[in-house]
Amino acid sequence: MLVDAHNRTIRDLRISLTDRCNFRCFYCLPHGEPSWAKKEKLLTFEELEYIAAIFVSLGIEKIRLTGGEPLIRRDVPVLVEKLSRLKPSLTDIALTTNGYDFARHAEALKNAGLDRVTFSLDSLRPERFREITGVDGLDRVLDSIGIAHRLGFRPIKVNAVIVRGRNDDEVVDFARFAIDHDLSFRFIEYMPLDSGHDWSRDMVVSGREIRDAIDKEIPLTLKNTSRGSSTSWKYRFADGLPGEIGIIAPVTEMFCGACSRIRLTADGQIRTCLFSTEEHDLRGVLRSGASTAKIVEFIKAAVLKKEPSHRINDPDFVQPERTMSFIGG
Ligand code: SAM
Ligand code: SF4
């Protein structure tokens, strides 16, 4: 078991497959060409399979593949197939994607054993979608969501980062979209993880504000009375309509006390928190030819250093150097 110094059991591993992305969401990546990790630094699928097996032997139950845009990496279904061999100890393999390339991999991913998919979608208006992501791709993302539905991925989650003045006028439209497509639509508060370091508190639309705006138009009923290790408050639509919404409010309603997550960056660094300022070089240990026992020791030591909480709301908060796309959101 992986237990940290604050008695939290770590059960979820997020693996970033690449720091690269075909989008340039303004709250995540800079415009232009960022300095990507060199290819030889990325963990290979064989390395990931080996490390994932160790993590699962230590009690990891869920693995989420993310990035950057994970589907930029070639042959992701091959990796999913390798990870599937870790079931049933591994209970869940999920993917977070911007959806642009999902359609052409969807069937192979399903056949390889992918259990769940989460899409990111920050606007339902084509022009605004382009402004936010830098890509004219709304239709492709909507198609991908439809395909995920048809292939039987359930639940399908869709994430939107709500930023004041950019897309906060769409929250009710997003809720209607959740009803029309029977989705779990999750609203995420904007976090200081943008490459431009432009984040400011007044750009954050609080979870409460989002919930109230929806509730006014479409009454909501709270589904979970505690968040447990989940990051979101879940609501169903009071009139028995399909779909649900989730509110993820890391800035205004911190949930670190129940965090069960750990992250592995594409270049093989363990990050114990999104907001860590320290990383643990698992790639270095692995490539030094260390034994499995040494790797286990290294992972356990890293977990013991997991931060008690993020410090976004502290006056001396320092934004981590690496942004979401590099950390693996
Ligand atoms: N490229 C994939 C995607 O966009 O779904 C996976 C990686 S992305 C970094 C994972 C999630 O992080 C996305 O849902 C994205 O909206 C979210 N994200 C990125 N930057 C963020 C920020 N500054 N605040 C809150 N969420 C952020
Ligand atoms: Fe790419 Fe996802 Fe970051 Fe957008 S949020 S730039 S899609 S990694």
Q: What is the pLDDT of residues 98-155, one digit of tens each?
A: 999 999 999 999 999 999 999 999 999 999 999 999 999 999 999 999 999 999 999 9
pLDDT the model gives residue 228? 64
Q: Does the C-beta of 69 come closer than 6 Å to ligand 1?
A: yes
The minimum-distance atom of ligand 2 relative to the CA of 22 is 1
Tell me: pLDDT of 175 over 70: yes
Candidates 62, 125, 126, 133; CA nearest to 97 is 133
- Confidence band of 89 (pLDDT split at 50, 70, 90): very high
Grouping H, G, I as helix, E, B as strand and the rest as coil, residue 81 is helix
Whether 231 shows a pLDDT value over 90: the answer reads: no
Cα–ligand 2 centroid distance for 155 (angstroms): 21
Q: Find out whether the beta carbon of 325 lies less than 6 Å from any atom of ligand 2.
A: yes
35 — pLDDT class (breaks 50, 70, 90): confident
Q: Which ligand is nearest to the CA of 188?
A: 1
What are 59-71's pLDDT values in tens digits?
Answer: 999 999 999 999 9
Query: How far apart are alpha carbons 144 and 138 in whole angstroms?
Result: 10
Quick one: DSSP state of residue 235?
E
> Where do the domains of the chain lie, and which CATH numbers do they carry?
2-327 (3.20.20.70)
Q: Which bound ligand lies closest to the C-alpha atom of 133?
A: 2
2-17 average pLDDT score: 96
Average pLDDT over residues 187-191: 95
Q: How confident is the model at residue 227 (pLDDT cuts 50, 70, 90)?
A: low
Q: Using alpha carbons only, give the angle 262, 267, 271 rounded to the nearest 5 degrees.
A: 25
In the structure, what pLDDT confidence band is assigned to residue 325 with cuts at 50, 70 and 90? confident
Choosing from 15, 71, 120 the residue with most ligand 1 atoms within 8 A of its CB, the one to mutate for a pocket test is: 120
Kindly give, in sequence order, each residue whose CB lies less than 8 Å from that of residue 127, ignoring residues fewer than 6 positions away: none
Closest protein CA for atom 8 of ligand 2 = 68
**CB of 153 shorter than 6 A to ligand 2:** no
Ligand 1: centre distance to CA 28 (Å): 7
On whether the CB atoms of residues 217 and 175 are closer than 8 A, the answer is: yes
Give the model confidence (pLDDT) of 268-308 as tens digits: 999 998 888 889 999 999 999 999 999 999 999 999 999 88
Angle in degrees, 0-180, between the axes of helices 171-181 and 207-217, rounded to the nearest 10: 60
Q: What confidence category does residue 34 fall into, taking pLDDT thresholds of 50, 70 and 90?
A: confident
Give the Å distance between the CA of 36 and the centre of ligand 2.
14
- For 137-146, 159-168, 250-259, which range has the lowest pLDDT when averaged over its residues? 250-259
pLDDT value of residue 224: 76
Of the ranges 26-30, 194-198, 303-307, which one carries the lowest mean pLDDT score? Answer: 194-198
| 68 CA to centre of ligand 1 in angstroms | 8
Q: Which two tokens stand for residue 168?
A: 């906060």
71 C-beta closer than 6 A to ligand 2: no
CB of 68 closer than 6 angstroms to any ligand 2 atom: yes
Is 98 near ligand 2, meaning CB less than 6 Å away?
yes
Atom of ligand 2 nearest to the CA of 325: 8
| DSSP at 59 | T
Kind plus residue range of the DSSP H or E element containing 15: strand 12-16
Ligand 1: distance of its center to the CA of 62 in Å? 19
**Beta strands across the sheet bearing 261-264:** 220-222, 232-237, 244-248, 184-189, 156-162, 116-120, 92-97, 62-66, 12-16, 261-264, 269-271, 280-281
Element holding 203 (H helix, E strand): none
Which whole number is the average pLDDT over 4-32? 92
CA 33 centroid distance within chain:
22
Supply the mean pLDDT for the chain. Answer: 93
Phi and psi, residue 95, nearest 5°: -135, 135
Of the candidates 298, 303, 228, 235, the one whose C-alpha atom is nearest the C-alpha of residue 259 is 228
67 C-beta closer than 6 A to ligand 2: yes
> Quick check: CB of 195 below 6 Å from ligand 1?
no
The rounded distance, in Å, linking the Cα atoms of 130 and 122 is: 10
Cα separation, 45 vs 53, in Å, equals: 12
Count the Cβ atoms, other than its own, within 10 Å of residue 33: 7
Residue type, 33: E
106: Cα separation from own chain's centroid: 18
Residue 100 confidence (pLDDT): 98
Output the pLDDT for position 254: 79
Q: What is the pLDDT of residue 31?
A: 67
User: What pLDDT is attached to residue 229?
Assistant: 61
User: Which protein residue has the closest C-alpha to ligand 1 atom 17?
Assistant: 329
Ligand 2 centroid distance, CA of 23 (Å): 6
Which parts of the chain fold into alpha helices (H)?
A: 45-57, 76-84, 102-112, 126-133, 138-150, 171-181, 207-217, 282-287, 292-304, 324-327
The verdict on the CB of residue 25 being under 6 Å from ligand 2 is yes
